[in-house]
Amino acid sequence: MPTLADEFRGWLGQSRRRIGELGLEPRIEHVGRVAQIGDGVATVTGLPETRLDELLVFDGGVKGLAVDLGEQAIGCVLLGDTGGVTAGSMVHGTGVVARVPVGEALLGRVVDGLGSPLDGGALVVAETLAPVEQPAPAIVDRALVTRPLATGLLVVDAMIPLGRGQRELIIGDRGTGKTAIAVDAIINQRASDVICVYAAIGQKASSVAQVIEAVRRYGAPEHCIFVIGEADAAPGLQWLTPYSACTMAEYFMTHGRDVLLVIDDLTKHAAAYRQLSLLLRRPPGREAYPGDIFYIHSRLLERAAKLAPERGGGSLTALPIAETQAGNISAYIPTNLISITDGQIYLDPRLFYEDQKPPVDVGKSVSRVGGKTQAPVLQELSESLRLEYAQFLELEVFTRFGTMVDERTRKVIAHGRRIRAVLRQPRFAPLTLGEQVALLTAVSEGVLDDVPLDRVDAFRSGLGSWLAQHCPEAVSPEDRAATLSEHDRLTNALKALARAVAMPMTADRP
Ligand SMILES: Nc1ncnc2c1ncn2[C@@H]1O[C@H](COP(=O)(O)OP(=O)(O)OP(=O)(O)O)[C@@H](O)[C@H]1O
Ligand SMILES: [Mg+2]
């Protein structure tokens, strides 16, 4: 029978063996403590080696970014739920700046600003990690914007054309269809090789779900990445979202691909940043925004570029969205963004309520780059369209007072109303270049002038199948080199369609 001493000896031997097996080696770890914690920000002490924008990990796994480095303490923006983190809990320095996974593995996924999946799928196994903040491409690495980016919306493609590598602001009041334009642009890329990245900042979960659903239903979701910082996400994560999305988009640009980045929206991004800055006790400036509010948006949008051929020739087109209050585009954040971007698409609430959707105000909208990239055949037609439309808008105001007008003016107004009807377009129904050219030909040839106004929609929706049947390849190929080879035949086909839709009882009505 073993004595107590034997048992003890055995136990001692075992313990020695176990300790001997343990691989003990020295490890340097930077550890600090939380001095103060509040809504989305924390003050940390005892991490003297921390770098700017370094990722810190709190007890419980929540991450934070060091954004203020002081002599005594570090100001840190939290990137997740702060439950469990208290004053006095430990903070670990990681020695690396915030990075996100990039690569093909992200295509078709819904992730947050740190690249963690939100779609219930597996963790994203990326090729590499890339820093969320990267310098914009240098001037020598850039090339001129030469290729168009078709949105499938006639009013945009004809009047405010976009080029690959351009930055175009979509601006308007609440609920005027800003997201709808961006989503239509994404959906139209189902017919192209453009990769789309949609970044949602401070949006309601239901709005985000609608966007994802629309792209899954009508677009090519396998070419899209959704980076979501919802309204209830930590403000730090909302602030980080567009930078992460831009990094994910840049990966494809540097690999020679064309990318479309939608940032929905930068007004909420500015508000999230203001909240963080005030909590970090940075001095408030105009409208309580911090002094660097212009810089945080310009350094983001400067990353959109068309790269030179020796850099792979890829491009990143940015479509930031901004919300205005009562149509005030001269407010602080809107003016900042207008001056950073290469033009804006202004959505007018008055047009929206008049059911002119998409409610693009062509007078206040401009594209300073894309005009040169437009297919010449479309360019020619839209030039006269712009002129005729502007003329009509001026005359229409005049006739609102009930002034008697002569026959010629009446014709110009009737023609203008057809143009306006043609520029109206339902959602999820992008037009091909051929259909756009055909529609504008119908306008310029006066084919639509005899079609009742309420039948113009039927003309547009029937156009695609009618052309395929009666005049295929009138406009080809479907890119910048497109030419209109059979003008007369196309006009005749359009006239026949106009007759068919104008007579609702006709049997061959489309
Ligand atoms: N071309 C269109 N045809 C028909 N309905 C449209 C069109 N464009 C937008 N809408 C409708 O208008 C409503 C508002 O659109 P959307 O959500 O895109 O606006 P928003 O400006 O992004 O709003 P918010 O300011 O809330 O983000 C939606 O119900 C949408 O379906
Ligand atoms: Mg929206």
d(C-alpha 344, C-alpha 330), whole Å: 13
Best probe residue, ligand 1, of 170, 211, 361, 427 (max atoms within 8 Å of C-beta):
427
Q: Nearest to residue 36, comparing CAs of 73, 65, 4, 69?
A: 73
Best probe residue, ligand 1, of 155, 323, 357, 425 (max atoms within 8 Å of C-beta):
357
Q: Is 244 helix (H, G, I), strand (E, B) or coil?
A: helix
Nearest Cα residue to atom 8 of ligand 1 = 177
Active-site amino acid positions:
368
Q: Is 204 in the pocket of ligand 1 (CB under 6 A)?
A: no
CB-based contacts of 144, cutoff 8 Å, min separation 6 = 306
Q: Is 75 in the pocket of ligand 1 (CB under 6 A)?
A: no
The number of the ligand nearest the C-alpha atom of 181 reads 1
Only one residue has tokens 């100001």, namely 75
77 close to 44: Cβ distance less than 8 angstroms: no
Instruction: Report how far ligand 1's centroid is from the alpha carbon of 276 (Å).
Output: 30
3-state secondary structure 464-491: HHHHHHHCCCCEECCCCCCEECCHHHHH
Check residue 194 and give its pLDDT: 96
Nearest Cα residue to atom 10 of ligand 1 = 177
Instruction: Report how far ligand 1's centroid is from the alpha carbon of 31 (Å).
Output: 49
Q: Nearest to residue 378, comparing CAs of 388, 367, 386?
A: 386
Ligand 1 atom index nearest CA of 358: 1
Q: Is 460 in the pocket of ligand 1 (CB under 6 A)?
A: no
Instruction: Report how far ligand 1's centroid is from the alpha carbon of 174 (Å).
Output: 9
137 close to 313: Cβ distance less than 8 angstroms: no
Q: Is 424 in the pocket of ligand 1 (CB under 6 A)?
A: no
H/E stretch holding 437 reads: helix 433-444
Best probe residue, ligand 1, of 156, 178, 325 (max atoms within 8 Å of C-beta):
178
Orientation of helix 235-254 relative to helix 266-279, angle to 10°: 130
Please provide residue 258's backbone torsions phi and psi, each rounded to the nearest 5 degrees.
-100, 135
Instruction: Report how far ligand 2's centroid is from the alpha carbon of 43 (Å).
Output: 34
Best probe residue, ligand 1, of 155, 176, 422 (max atoms within 8 Å of C-beta):
176
Ligand 1 atom index nearest CA of 347: 21
Nearest Cα residue to atom 12 of ligand 1 = 177
The pair of structure tokens assigned to 115 is 């690249």
d(C-alpha 327, C-alpha 363), whole Å: 14
Only one residue has tokens 């629309």, namely 214
Q: Is 177 in the pocket of ligand 1 (CB under 6 A)?
A: yes
Q: What is the pLDDT along the chain (510 residues), one digit of tens a residue?
A: 678 888 999 999 999 988 888 877 887 888 899 999 988 899 999 888 899 999 999 988 899 999 999 988 999 999 988 878 889 999 999 999 999 999 999 999 999 999 999 998 888 888 799 999 999 999 999 999 999 999 999 999 999 999 999 999 999 999 999 999 999 999 999 989 999 999 999 999 999 999 999 999 999 999 999 999 999 999 999 999 999 999 999 999 999 999 999 999 999 999 999 999 999 999 999 999 999 999 999 999 999 999 999 999 999 999 999 999 999 999 999 999 999 999 999 999 999 999 999 999 999 999 999 888 999 989 999 988 888 888 888 888 877 776 667 888 888 888 999 999 999 999 999 999 989 999 999 999 989 988 888 899 899 988 988 888 887 777 777 677 777 777 788 888 888 888 888 876 544 444
Ligand 1 atom index nearest CA of 210: 17
CA 450: distance to chain centroid? 40
Q: Is 10 helix (H, G, I), strand (E, B) or coil?
A: helix
Q: Is 176 in the pocket of ligand 1 (CB under 6 A)?
A: yes
In order, the DSSP letters of 382-440 are HHHHHHHHHHHHHHHHHHTTT----HHHHHHHHHHHHHHHHH---TT-PPPHHHHHHHH
Q: Is 155 in the pocket of ligand 1 (CB under 6 A)?
A: no
The DSSP call for residue 372 is G
Check residue 484 and give its pLDDT: 75
Alpha-carbon distances, residue 217 vs 104, 187, 212, 280, 500 (angstroms): 21, 9, 9, 43, 31
Instruction: Report how far ligand 1's centroid is from the alpha carbon of 59 (Å).
Output: 43
Nearest Cα residue to atom 26 of ligand 1 = 175
Paired strand residues for 446:
none
Q: Is 180 in the pocket of ligand 1 (CB under 6 A)?
A: yes
The number of the ligand nearest the C-alpha atom of 175 reads 1
Let me know the angle formed at the C-alpha of 61 by 55 and 67, rounded to the nearest 5 degrees.
Answer: 25
Complete edge-to-edge strand list for the sheet that includes strand 343-347: 110-111, 224-229, 195-201, 258-264, 315-323, 169-172, 343-347, 366-367
Burial code (b: 16+ CB inside 10 Å, e: under 16) for 423-446 equals bbbebbebbbbbbbbbbbbbbbee
Q: Is 184 in the pocket of ligand 1 (CB under 6 A)?
A: no
